[in-house]
Chain A
Amino acid sequence: MKIDIVTTRNGVRETVAYDYRPRQDGERPMILDVLLQAQATALPDLAFRYGCRARNCGVCTVDVNGRPRIACRARVRAGDRIEPMATLPVLADLVVRRDGIARQLQGRTTADHRDPDLNEEAPEAYHDLTACIECYACLDGCPMHARNFADDAADAALPDAATGYRWGNPFSLLKLQRLRLDPCVTEDGRQAALDAAIDLGLDACVGCKGCKCGVGIDLKGGVVGELLAAAGDRLSGDGASAD
């Protein structure tokens, strides 16, 4: 079964045609099976992330034919092309630099806002959001995240990754909306979370057709829609999210 794997070593990008050998008749391998076999045979130095092999840890996301897929639980077909996620800078082969996403939330979601009484139950909508495994499939097609790379496309190798991207994404919005649904967070904390969402560029969500979640969370309704509704007319005019 011929599968294309795009590798990047020391900055040099190339496509390797890998011939997957099925382990049983009619096997429809997962992406990760192909990568593990390639590493055990023709490409021993192949770089790729994986963790639990059960779609819980969220680290193995790659692009297949230009769409993000969770490698351990998405199958490939002959002729498929496996590439690193197009939404983040490549470090090597299928490994992208992820930490610019989380770092943008440093200091934006402080614990000081917690209410000391922990014996409060969270609403169902809160638990819907803690299903997020941080696979970053939701960055695909996100106009807010794309702003990070828009200003200076030629020099977009690693914009702000070490300190956190300036502009947000559905994952960061989810983390903020989760705070807003947490019964143990004070009203000030909820307000700070909304302010952070607006500062990260929530205005980019106005009129957007919506984002798609890797594990099926309703991002458009449960996250973006709620934040937009709460922000209301604070998003009118383009000054809301400028530096």
Chain B
Amino acid sequence: MTIEVEWRDYDVIVVGSGGAGSAAADAAAAEGARVLVVSKDPIACSDTKISEGNATVRGTVSDADTEQELSDNLRVSGADLPLPALTAAYAKDSRPAYDWYRAHGLRPKINRDRQGPFARPLAKGGHTVARSVGHKNAGVAFSHAAWDAVVEGAQIDYLEDAWFLDLAVAGAENGAPGRVAGGLVYHAATGTLVAVRASAVVMASGGLNTLYFPKTDTMRGNTGDGYAAAARAGADLVDMEQVQFLPFCLTAPASYEGLLVGEPSTASFLGVLRDRHGKVILDGVYLRTRAECSAAIMRAVADGRGTDGGGAYLDLTANARLPRSGKGFMRYLQTSMPSAYRTARQALSKPAVRCEESWEVRPAAHYTMGGIRVDATGASVGGPGDGTAAAGLSGLFAAGQAMGGVFGANRLGSTALTENVVFGLRAGRGAADHARAHPHSAGDDAFHPLIAAATAQFGHGGDQAPALLKLELQRAAWDHIGPARTADSLNRMDAVIDDLADRAGRAAVPDYALWNQAFIEWVELRSLLDVARAVTAAARERDASVGGHVRLDRPQVSILAQPYSTVVRGQTGNGGVLRVQAVRARRPRMPAMRLLAMRLKDAWRKTQAKALCLLPPALLDPILDRRYRAILGPGDAAPAVSPGGPAAAVADAAE
């Protein structure tokens, strides 16, 4: 069968239309570039949209929240894996990034004393300063801004229902990456292949969490398409073993599996994690990072002390039980993460929702810290150490979850909605600059094999359904490269990948061009298999536990050890099959005095938290009551109408 091919010319292609993609497109268009946004989901229907809507804005509460402080917070929590150049860029641009959302209609409450937004009063785990700004309607409010940025000015062309298949690359030889000539796109809504000539491509296509579906709380579209296309084109990926699993997600009922019901901070002052026998496996939960909580749960599960649903119990009852402060706690729980609490209210029993019983929770994939290896302009880099753009894939840029290197081993709460615009704007500008410097297309030759390969899939005969292979891969990925890993499990994953790749070669795809779901499933299966290869290779190279990478058969990495990141290099062999190789890139260690100061501050907070729990209830209750009053303020109630709220008129699940 022949599918029609449409050729188009642009300066910059942006893959994805969430916070990162919309910011990149806006920035590139502002530089005068001709921009095409390619989005498989409708514009702005992304993880940005479904997030809790908290953004990190440095200096919201005090001028003492310096760039150094925020940059160090990211590096300490990321176990020194983050690149200092990237964390510095993040700290420098956090306010301008936030103001980009505001310029497109995000409207927070204003603190007149500081001429800016209010931060939520409690610092989220791992932040040493309160700097997380919350918003009415959570991520949906951010998505309106992203949507407006792409649609409103009519400066940006976009295709939705469009799957980015591959980067066209010219001039790659002797193992060195070449330069971007454009990309090939399947536009399902018109049933055409769109061959887009462009000298720069920004990958802003999200993460890989759908590798673990349904044990994830993020968008279905996170099938790692950007990582896979980059690796197939010869670009480096970094820290791919680092997948963040949120600790407090549901195990049941089935329709809610994997959905988020809380964060370490919402466990509040007295929340603890317990194993199936009721024994405490983690205390001071509200001061822990997501990675610490997830690791504690998975270790209990591995020891046979997990719950029936393969998780642990999040016990918030001590917070709720106190006669006075208990009411404050419930109000805090309901208002600090409204959509998470709404999920809990729909899915859990009434006593559990009132926090008279524990919640059964299990980690679920939430964010990919690793990604395309870039510098502070978002440009693909290669080579040893921090890498250089000269050794990267020329013309490839990345932002948002698609890029790696800024969060290292752990991402702190509320940092993603800032990161995606900090680097979205940088990558968009970088791509526009690159296109200006390379105005001529690198040639059409690079497209022909890609077009031939995609065309061959339409009407491909075989006995395998790609959608079912995807399900097999998702089950295996949770078991073998999920929140707990061993040397054995990694070997088993290799075998699963080889088997599924072989069967993917026998995929049955009908021959019609308009919205061919089997073709779409095959495309996403191919992406997921490629990212599974990258995660497995990186996980093997990382031979100790650190952050989101938990090796049950190896110790925690020593803080005295020389930090390194894993770098996965892709090479596409015969038949388009990706081969990956993992190496190490050294990272600088944070100066000992700064690290010590941070750790002391953290230890002091944890000691205070412990001491608090030892007080008798009669003394504790009024102290906590005052704290909740300070946290909540007078009028901090949930918005009257919100997605999925009780006023919902059409969908009626939450009766």
Contact = CB atoms under 8 A, between A and B. Distances in A.
A106 interface: yes
A131 B514 CA distance: 33
Nearest to A56: B50
Interface residues on B, range: 35 or more
B174 interface: no
B188 A216 contact: no
A137 B105 contact: no
A215 B521 contact: no
Contact of B650 (A49, A134, A212): A212
Contacts of A108: 152
B448 interface: no
Interface string A94-124: 0101110011011111111010001111101
B121 interface: no
Contact of A68 (B104, B256, B650): B650
Nearest to B145: A130
Contacts, number: 233
Contact of A52 (B107, B189, B218, B648): B218
Given A40-B471, A111-B103, A127 B136 contact: yes
Interface of A: 9-11, 23-24, 27, 29-30, 32-33, 39-40, 44-47, 49-59, 67-70, 72-75, 91-93, 95, 97-99, 102-103, 105-112, 114, 118-122, 124, 126-128, 130-135, 137, 161-162, 178, 182-184, 212-218
Nearest to A219: B649
27 contacts: A9-B512, A40-B467, A44-B466, A45-B465, A49-B41, A50-B220, A52-B218, A53-B258, A54-B50, A54-B343, A58-B49, A59-B45, A73-B644, A73-B651, A91-B188, A92-B516, A103-B151, A107-B152, A111-B149, A119-B110, A131-B645, A132-B144, A133-B140, A184-B105, A213-B649, A214-B651, A215-B642
A43 B144 CA distance: 35
A74 B650 contact: yes
Contacts of B218: 52
Given A74-B652, A130-B140, A44 B468 contact: yes
A215 B644 contact: yes
B42 A99 contact: yes
A23 B254 contact: yes
A217 B641 CA distance: 7
Nearest to A129: B144
B152 A110 contact: yes
Contact of B643 (A50, A103, A131, A162): A131
A54 B644 contact: yes
A70 B651 contact: yes
B43 interface: yes
Contacts of A23: 254
B152 to A, nearest CB: 4
A216 B153 contact: no
B286 to A, nearest CB: 24
Contacts of B139: 56
B161 interface: yes
A189 B631 CA distance: 38
Contacts of A120: 107, 110
Given A45-B465, A137-B650, A214-B650, A53 B521 contact: no
A53 B45 contact: no
A162 B158 CA distance: 10
Contacts of A118: 99, 102-103
Given A44-B518, A52-B217, 12 more contacts: A40-B467, A51-B50, A56-B139, A57-B45, A74-B653, A97-B161, A102-B43, A106-B151, A111-B149, A128-B641, A134-B147, A212-B649
